[in-house]
Amino acid sequence: MKVETDNEVDLRAINRVQYQPPKRKRFPWVLVGVVLIALVVLTAGILPRIQARTDLKKETLEMAVPVVSVVQPKGSGPYADAPIYARTNGYLKRWYADIGTHVKAGQLLAEIDTPEVNQQLRQATADLATSRANLDLSKITADRYQGLLKTDSVSKQEADNAAGDYAAKLAAEQSAQANLKRLQDLQSFQRIYAPFEGVITARNTDVGALIDSGSSGGTRSELFHIAQPNRLRVYINVPQNYSQLAKPGMKADLTLSEFPGKRFQGTLVRTANAIDPVSRTLLVEISVPNPTGQLFTGSYAEVHMKLPTESSLFTIPVNTLLFRSEGLRIAVVGPDQKVDLRQITMGRDLGSEVEVVAGLNGNEQVIVNPPDSVIAGQTVRIAQPAAKAAQ
């Protein structure tokens, strides 16, 4: 009995050893988890940086402007434009052209009644007749004295006096003749003619109005204004940076608010060949055909000129500039994430942006709002765009 009990105990012990569950190996699963977490962290950190660099590079490339369109608001003017004033004093007797009248060159516009000039003309005519009579008498006297001098009937002094009197009378006659001619010219100014073919754009006088030519110190007033609208002149100011690109023969387009969606083509005909020291611009003249007269002189217009530029011209935001003691700089991020302080030459100031005419090639990543403490060679990290960070 005792032996059997011992055997049973041994069998139970053996059974407990045989049915004990084996221990699990956890090391492979922990390694897989660590690798997955590392991949997630790397993906979350590197991909946004790569995308940010791509976006910044794309934005930098878009700053290159191969062709610019310069817009200048200007007023259009006629090809020929002239105010018409009176050359003589008097009263307006009659006018023959009103505003909007199309006139030919040499056409009569108005007549002026000049009673004072007429009276002066009659007096000058009488003065000339008197001068000629005195001249004839002086000539006869001088000739007579020359004959008497040959026989010593008169002294040499008396003969010289007679010759001098003749010369004085001759000068007086010429003066009277010149005065008569002047008054005749003034009388001819009673009629006012159109200097060229065009349209009367203003009439500032009426019948009976006092006309003052300003010759006696008065204030002369414009009687008519005439313009030749079949061809318009438009003057614009081209910035100095583009002055070498504005050449005669270039085409320009005009747009007016009263003709929406329509463009009128003109041609650059001449430039001032000098930069205005105040505005730093080049004055150019554009000729615009207007055969039907649908464009009114003085109209507000916008001029669009396509000026080809070099590919080295870029624009960057003003908040990328660094003003250092050694000169103007911008901070550029290199492929190794290190800062390079690049010297640039600035062109026009466009407000929120500036032109860069030298120092960039278009492939740079320019730091926006760089701190004053940034130095060359400093390692930086490109920030993730705010919109993507929110996502």
List domains and CATH numbers for the chain: 71-79+224-307 (2.40.30.170), 115-189 (1.10.287.470), 312-390 (2.40.420.20)
Residue 112 near residue 90 (C-beta atoms within 8 A): yes
Closest to 350 measured CA to CA, from 75, 74, 73, 68: 68
Q: Which pTM does this prediction carry? A: 0.52
For residue range 186-245, list pLDDT tens digits in order: 888 899 999 999 899 999 999 999 988 877 666 778 999 998 888 888 888 888 877 888
User: Does the pLDDT value for residue 19 go beyond 50?
Assistant: no
Q: Which residue has the higher pLDDT, 138 or 76?
A: 138
- What residues have CB less than 8 Å from 286, skipping those under 6 apart? 233, 234, 235, 236, 252, 254, 266, 267, 268, 269, 303
Q: Which residue has the higher pLDDT, 59 or 118?
A: 118
Q: Which of 41-45, 212-216, 297-301 has the highest mean pLDDT?
A: 297-301
